[in-house]
Structure 1
Amino acid sequence: MHIARFAFALFANKAAIVLANPIGPLTVHEFNTPAAQAGFCKGVGLPPLAHLDNATFSGVCSGQAARFLGIPYAQPPTCDRRLRLPVPLPPYEGYYDVHKFGPSCPQQRMILPTGLNTQLEKDISKIVATMYEDVTTDNEDCLTVNVFTPENATPTSKLPVLVWIFGGGFQIGGSANYDGGPVVARSVFIGKPVIFVSMNYRLLCTLFVALGFLPGKEVRAAKIGNLGLQDQRLAFKWVQRYITAFGGDPSKVTIWGESAGAISVALHMLVNNGDQAGLFRGAIMQSGGPIPVGDIDQASGQDVYDTFVKNAACDNSPDTLECLRSIPYSRFKYAMDLSPNFFAYQGLALAWLPRVDGVFLTEPPQHAVLRGHVANVPMITGMPLPHGSLFSLSSLNVSNTKGLENYMKAFMLPTATKAEIDLLLQYYPDDPKAGCPFDTGIRNILSVQFKRIAAIQGDIVFHGPRRFFLKYQSSKQNSWAFIHKRGKNSPFIGAAHATDLLNSFGDQELTDYFVYFAQNLNPNGDLEIPWPRYDVRNPTALVFQDSPFFPVITGADDYRIDPLNFVTNLSLLHPI
């Protein structure tokens, strides 16, 4: 599939700034009109209304769904609340016009790789241009949720809820990039109506340094690590408190994410020693799992903090955190733009990651899995096969095995020994036919080490954690796996990271399975291809492929067993 088509499909709808103007609440009598009780969109010529606390929220009806967009769920992380934990809102008062998406949290612009195949470079540029120019408007006051509910739903419907967490490497993205209306419409069409909720959360930064994933010993001491995950958790609590007003059942919530969103889902399963506190009963992870990260103040994280502070000219301050809260935006923007993004030379050794902070995450994610500190909820996990290709486009100058050894030592595995890295490279031989995109022979060789680097990066960050999670949890909780191979013949990147999103929003096969899962905690229903539960003794996955006759099959989930086991064990010893 052409990657530009992927960009268009993924980022089609545009964001707009929400108008939230308290002008006095409507009365309960006005809210409880016969039209409202017949369904949110049954009042002819009237907007759908939802009543929260002492406020009325006016949305819009479109595409078989009532949409309530840009609802604030936390106090703005501004002024004294910058670089602090999210603060819940007091009870709502007044009237809110919530018919447009709220602004996304400000984020770093991507610096794209250059010197690639011309068409590939153009396609990646289109993705980023579409995302930033056509979709993402940003503002510091960005912590909002969106609710899409079936047009016929009422506050007494008690429907299951899918809570979506967008991806973007914890650096970019916004809830406005994803229209939940088609998911709701599809659920109604197949007779299994659900509610779709999405939220914004702090990324690399919000305006004036409300960083969502700032590492460093200073952050640990201040107990403000993983603010983006804390934002998400507060949004989950908002759902528990208010989703009934939109026709939802707070006891039937499934959290669902892709990429950074899927990593977030996995980490929420590990918080509080696996006690999900009644916030969700199921989990769906597309292209992400319990990522192998270490302490927030380990050398790699501290280097990120120290470099950021230096670039922001706060390095001589006696209180660098306070300096970051107070510097002019121009200084902060300069430091932000100097920090590496996921298209940078270091690839998936990302600067801005969730890390063990002693408060939200108290142990490395994979250690938590080994100790059984995992929420005992049914789960779905899967991803496209060639995961590292998209993130290895800036390291094309690595030209031989020695260069690759130095690259791994500098970024992905800085604490590993030479012997460990040498053994790693034996599992990933200097043979393009064994590299990523996989099963493409000698094709897609952008440079002599490109496919090798892509295979290692993708396995450490994505494939290894997914297989590891299934290995230890599938015997304890109902689990299902999928593999996405569509777009396999796309030049250089194959069925790349995030291409499975084309199959999970709207009138698509994965959508149906996910809707059934939200309804029954089992993805099987009135569907043509049964989805077998995952069993480590006979690992089977649902496979989506480019075949007009057999687009969906079941197949063995046993690819690259030895390399994945090795990189998983290596990352237990040497987290990112």
Structure 2
Amino acid sequence: MHLFQDLSMWPLVVYQGVLNRLPGWTNDNLTVSIQGATVQGRSTNGVEAFTGIPYAQAPVKNLRLRPPQRITQELGTIDGTGHAMACPQQKPRQEDFAGIMDLMSFLGDSGVTVPVPTEQSEDCLTVTVTRPGGTTSLDRLPVLFYVHGGGFEIGCTEDNDPADFVRYGIDIGKPFIFVAVNYRINGFGFLPGQRVADEGVANLGLLDQRLGLEWTADNIASFGGDPDKVTIWGISAGSISVFDQMALNNGNHSHSLTGRPLFHAAIMSSGSMTPAESVSSEKAERVYERVVQAAGCSEAANSLKCLREVDYETFHHAVSSLPGPLSYNGLALSYLPRPDGKTLQESPEILAREGKYATVPMILGTMEDEGTLISVLQRNLTTTDHLVNYLQGCFFAEASSHQMTELVDTYAQGQACVENGSPFGTGSANEIFPGFKERSAVIGDVIFILMRRLFLKYSAAAYPDVPSWSYMGSFNKGAPVFGTTHGSDTAPFFNGNGTVHAAETLRRHFLNFVYSLDPNESDDRQSWPRWATSQEQLRVFASETSLIVDGYRSRAFEWIADNIGILHV
């Protein structure tokens, strides 16, 4: 079948790497008893997996566009030997197709690819548990709770297979349990609008993740995990979700029924606080109205009720009528977590600055060239003026053109901007069309790299005694076009490749942290200092590791810090 023969079947999770399902799974009557159910699993090569375990009632019919509901009935036997159903994916629009093909033509050997199509359903609120073979309920292993990425509009738990990562933990004597959560995305999970705000049903995807964490707290001991040693981790939108879980309910990360903390540490890979307009802003309301119109609900007395009542195909089509992450709009997303006065009580940068988030040890990192993958899709932005208009028109509606000009000017102008643009450190190379390197630098910094630094600065001021560490991935330095781009870290973690050194370094440090809340070990050749103490990052190259002072592009950082209040997506 041609790669894009059936666009509706392709989740297009370019941020999340290649799907790596291992063949030869066997089922040797592997079962685990949990609350109200028995889960069947599968095993191969020393790893056991239990896929697609429901943690909430199916959010269908009258439960569509409502908070997730706990399962109250007995489920009997759950077949966890197959593949977990994906939540409905944002379908690419026909007008985005040319940009997608541009992106695909540049991917080459970048290590960032499109996964195999996966089945989709509204009945998708499940977790998948992967553990070392032979684990019993007595083992009490630490737990890594993973939130997938995909721009809050695409992605699922099966984008990456954690089996190789779990085997690595066994090999170094630090076995752990990996839990991945499916949550509602795009308009199914993050529909904005005034009616949504009035009914209190915003940020449903975050509430899904939270109920998945509560399921883990209630059931992971049966799989051999320790509910008191849960580290939450995510990449891209999953990383932003980790911060949001820390900031949910102004930092209350306790189980809603038992009051016990749901996690004791956090890892954010390519994403942290993401300032956003409110769920009832003018921009948000335009998204809502577009979905309502596409669903044929414009004349309904209660448009939200109408959206719940239309059939699945109609609602899915309506949700996908807006630009997705693989469009000209890029990361100016239609659907993402927005402050709603309830779950996210204020914009994330305000919650971070005021210390209204869970104070747990944390690791934050980004790739060196976060913006390159995203900036291929706007070929016509060939001048600085074009970029200014794009940032003001698509991303930051609260900013003026003058303010966006000030931001862009911090990256120099003309040939100097090309030479200093992203991929960084490559001179005038990789300027695949005019404006590419300038745009890549600005967007990568303002969404990911320098926003990470600003959160760390807020954190060090609010909670100087809470440990944090930061890293930069540079292991694809010199790779054509993209460098070490957004999503590059999926290969080292999940496939154990990309570079052997990067895979070994990142995995080992993460598992040190999962075990001891410190990524260092006494025999580490390269000590990784706390960020608040040194303001240094661990920089991971293809064959070596070093430290870098986290002060690069200081003019841009100072501008972002001074103007954060207008940088709401």
What is the TM-score of this pair, normalised by structure 2? Answer: 0.88
Matching residue within 198, 202, 212 for 1:225 = 202
Partner SS state of residue 230, structure 1: helix
Aligned partners of 2:470 and 2:531 also within 8 Å: no
- Cα 1:506/1:450, change in 2 over 3 Å: closer
Q: Note closer, same or farther for the CA distance 1:529–1:129 as it changes in structure 2 (3 Å cut).
A: closer
**Which one of the candidate residues 467, 477, 481 is aligned to 2:453?**
467
Q: Helix, strand or coil for the counterpart of 1:460?
A: helix
Q: CA deviation at 1:440?
A: 1.5
Q: Secondary structure at the match of 1:505?
A: helix
Q: Does 1:410 align with 2:418?
A: no
1:515 maps to what in 2? 511
Secondary structure of the residue aligned to 1:419 is helix
Name 1:500's counterpart in structure 2: 489
8 A Cα contact 1:169 1:260, kept in partner: yes
Task: Give me the whole-angstrom Cα distance separating, in 2, the residues matched to 1:71 and 1:573.
Answer: 41
Q: Name the structure 1 match of 2:173.
A: 191
The question of 1:147 aligning with 2:129 is answered yes
Does 1:342 find its partner at 2:325?
A: yes
- For the residue of structure 2 that corresponds to 1:255, the secondary structure is strand
Partner of 2:538, secondary structure, is strand
Match of 2:480 in 1: 491
In the alignment, residue 218 of structure 1 is paired with which amino acid? R
236-245 or 88-97: which moved more? 88-97
Q: What residue is the counterpart of 2:465 in the other structure?
A: 476
Aligned with 1:313 (options 293, 296, 300): 296
- What is aligned with 1:162? 144
Q: State the partner residue of 2:224.
A: 247
Distance across 1 between alignment mates of 2:440 and 2:198: 36
Equivalent residues of 2:88, 2:316 under 8 A apart: no
Q: Distance in 2 between matches of 1:115 and 1:51?
A: 48
Aligned equivalents of 1:499 and 1:471: distance in 2? 25
Output the amino acid matched with 2:190. F
Residue aligned with 1:270, SS: helix
State percent identity of aligned pairs. Answer: 34
Matches within 5 A, 1:89-488: 89-90=71-72, 92-110=74-92, 114=98, 121=105, 123=107, 130-131=114-115, 134-205=116-187, 211-277=188-254, 278-430=261-413, 431-474=417-460, 475-488=464-477
What are the Cα deviations for residues 393-417 of structure 1, in whole angstroms up to 9, with x where unaligned?
2222123232222222211222212
Cα offset, 1:428, TM superposition: 2.5
Q: Which moved more, 1:83-92 or 1:533-542?
A: 533-542
> Deviation digits for residues 8-56 of structure 1, max 9, x if unmatched?
96312289xxxxxxxxxxxxxxxxxxxxxxxxx9xxx832221113432
Q: Distance in 1 between matches of 2:286 and 2:412?
A: 31
8 A Cα contact 1:13 1:135, kept in partner: no
Residue 532 (structure 1) aligned with residue 528 (structure 2):
yes
Shift of 1:154: 1.0
* Residue 169 of structure 1: how far off its partner (Å): 0.2
Decide which of 520, 533, 549 is 1:556's aligned counterpart: 549
Aligned length: 536
Aligned partner of residue 107 in structure 1, secondary structure: coil
Unaligned runs of 5+ in 2: 1-11, 255-260, 497-502
CA offset at residue 310 of structure 1?
Answer: 1.9
* Structure 1 counterpart SS, 2:105: helix
2:15–2:486 Cα contact (<8 Å) kept = no
Displacement after TM superposition at 1:234 (Å): 0.1
- The whole-number CA distance in structure 2 between the counterparts of 1:91 and 1:99 is 22
Counterpart in the other structure of 1:29: none
Give secondary structure in 2 for the equivalent of 1:338: coil
Contact 1:529–1:553, Cα closer than 8 Å, also in 2: no
Segments of 5+ residues of structure 1 without an aligned counterpart are 16-40, 206-210
**Which residue does the alignment assign to 2:499?**
none
Relative to 1, partners in 2 of residues 1:262 and 1:541: Cα closer, same or farther, differing over 3 Å? same
CA deviations 1:228-271 (Å, max 9, x no partner) are 11000000000110011011110000001000000000111112
Assess, with a 3 A threshold, how the Cα gap between structure 1 residues 294 and 457 changes in structure 2: closer, same or farther. Answer: same
Q: Describe the shift of the 1:124–1:262 C-alpha distance in structure 2 as closer, same or farther (beyond 3 A).
A: farther
Which amino acid is the alignment partner of residue 470 of structure 1? Answer: L
Question: What amino acid does structure 2 have at the position aligned with 1:544?
Answer: V
Question: Is this contact kept in 2: 1:281–1:378, CA < 8 A?
Answer: yes
Q: Structure 1's 128 and 486: CA in aligned 2 closer, same or farther, altered over 3 A?
A: closer
Q: CA deviation at 1:421?
A: 2.0
- Match among 43, 51, 71 for residue 69 of structure 1: 51
Structure 1 counterpart SS, 2:534:
coil
The question of whether the paired residues in 1 share the 8 Å contact of 2:189 and 2:203 is answered with yes
Question: Does the 8 Å CA contact 2:99/2:378 hold for their aligned counterparts?
Answer: no
Is the 1:460–1:568 contact (alpha carbons within 8 Å) kept by the matching residues of 2? no
Which residue of structure 1 lines up, in the alignment, with residue 563 of structure 2? 570
The residue matched to 2:50 in structure 1 has which SS?
A: strand
- TM-superposition CA deviations, 1:57-100 (whole Å, max 9, x none): 22112231221111111000011100100001115442222112
Q: Aligned partners of 1:568 and 1:265: how far apart in 2? A: 22
Q: 1:38 is matched with which residue?
A: none
C-alpha deviation, 1:158, in angstroms: 1.0
Contact 2:361-2:466 within 8 A present in 1 as well: yes
